[in-house]
Amino acid sequence: MAPASAETTPVTPSAPTRCGYVALIGAPNAGKSTLLNRLVGHKLAIVTPKAQTTRSRLLGIAIEGAAQLIYVDTPGIFAPRRRLDRAMVAAAWSGAEDADQTVLLVDAANGITADVARILDRLGERRWRAVLALNKIDRVRRERLLGLAAELTKRGDFDPVLMISALTGDGVDDLKGYLAQAVPPGPWLFPEDQLSDAPERLIAAELTREQVFLQLHDDLPYASTVETESWEERRDGSVRIGQVIYVERPSQRAIVLGEGGRRIKEIGARARLELEAMLGRRVHLFLFVKVRENWAEDRERLAALGLNPQV
Ligand SMILES: Nc1nc2c(ncn2[C@@H]2O[C@H](COP(=O)(O)OP(=O)(O)OP(=O)(O)O)[C@@H](O)[C@H]2O)c(=O)[nH]1
Ligand SMILES: [Mg+2]
């Protein structure tokens, strides 16, 4: 994806260029997608207070001095159950394996949970070195942060250890500065104004899924997926987007629709505003809700999310 506005600042790096992939990994809800958006300076990844929001890898590309940093947002790493969950966790690890630098994000307010411990074990087994970013420092007292940092550095090879708030931006410049000199020398791999490798259709589906996560509760967000089915450019400069929200059961379809269609209308209204902000033009959004039992085991649905369905 490129920015909605036409204005791009030509960048002529004075130093020899550097370029590298930087994977952001961590437990669900650690703040990876919030950090990706902040590092890139655009909303590319959806963010919600619920765990397991991100389902597939997403690149966010930014220039920092002479370096092009290609950030990889990954799904949270947790103990997987469904095929969907396995594919999500596999996508997270493969994102990290392919990267030049790995940033492990830990929610400092939650500390070393079972999910974090599992990640530490896997990094340890492979003697994997990572940057440790203790996130959400806006919510945690300093003494606790220092204790947690000490505990984590005992259990893994972390250098440097940074304290950040992806929400307020505190400490994020230090992270960028470190990464800009840590990625290898080499030419930039993407045009300088490119923000992501994700097609607009996929980001558009994600924005609707964000509303499903924000507006619906219990199992419903996890029982839903969204796909963009049609995308039609109109002569007046607007775009007509058709999307399907898949759920697993008829009772869930009824909840997504809401009484008198009120819920789906609200999901559509908010998603449309987000889409218009992303695309910089008017959007007509049409949402359909379909029941597809076991879509979370369905290879076609997983492929549509950008996941490898073979895991
Ligand atoms: N207070 C505070 N909240 C944060 C910070 N970073 C993220 N959050 C919140 O934490 C929640 C989860 O953020 P996400 O960015 O979706 O987390 P994630 O790691 O991408 O989560 P998954 O995609 O589910 O793995 C959201 O409610 C964010 O607003 C932070 O630095 N401080
Ligand atoms: Mg996320």
Q: Residues within 5 Å of ion ligand 2 by Cβ?
A: 32-33, 53-54
- Residue type at position 108: A
If you average pLDDT over every residue of the chain, what do you get?
95
Task: Give the global pTM.
Answer: 0.95
User: Residue 303: its pLDDT value, please?
Assistant: 93
70: number of Cβ within 10 Å: 23
- Give me 53's structure tokens: 């929001």
Single-letter residue type at 246: Y
Determine if ligand 1 sits within 6 Å of the CB of residue 33: yes
List pLDDT tens digits, range 146-199.
999 999 999 999 999 999 999 999 999 999 999 999 999 999 999 999 999 999
Question: Distance from the CA of 179 to the center of ligand 1, in angstroms?
Answer: 21
SS3 of the chain: helix, strand, coil, percent, to 5: 40, 25, 40
Q: Coil, strand, or helix at residue 77?
A: coil
Q: For the chain, which ranges sit under pLDDT 70? A: 2-14
In this structure, the residue with its CA closest to atom 2 of ligand 1 is 136
Cα–Cα distance, 203 to 275 (Å, whole number): 9
CB 215 within 8 A of CB 266: yes
Per-residue buried b or exposed e for 2-29, using 16+ beta carbons within 10 Å of the residue's own CB: eeeeeeeeeeeeeeebbbbbbbbbbbbb
pLDDT of amino acid 11? 57
Candidate from 25, 29, 170 with most ligand 1 atoms within 8 A of CB, to mutate: 29
In the reported structure, the alpha carbon of residue 6 is separated from the centroid of ligand 1 by a whole-number distance in angstroms of 30
Q: What pLDDT shows up at residue 1?
A: 72
43 lines ligand 1 (CB under 6 A): no
Which domains are assigned to the chain?
18-182 (3.40.50.300), 200-304 (3.30.300.20)
Whole-angstrom distance, CA of residue 139 vs CA of residue 151? 19
Query: Is residue 54 within 6 Å of ligand 1 at its C-beta?
Result: yes
Distance of CA 297 to the CA centre of its chain: 22
Tokens representing 266 are 């609200």
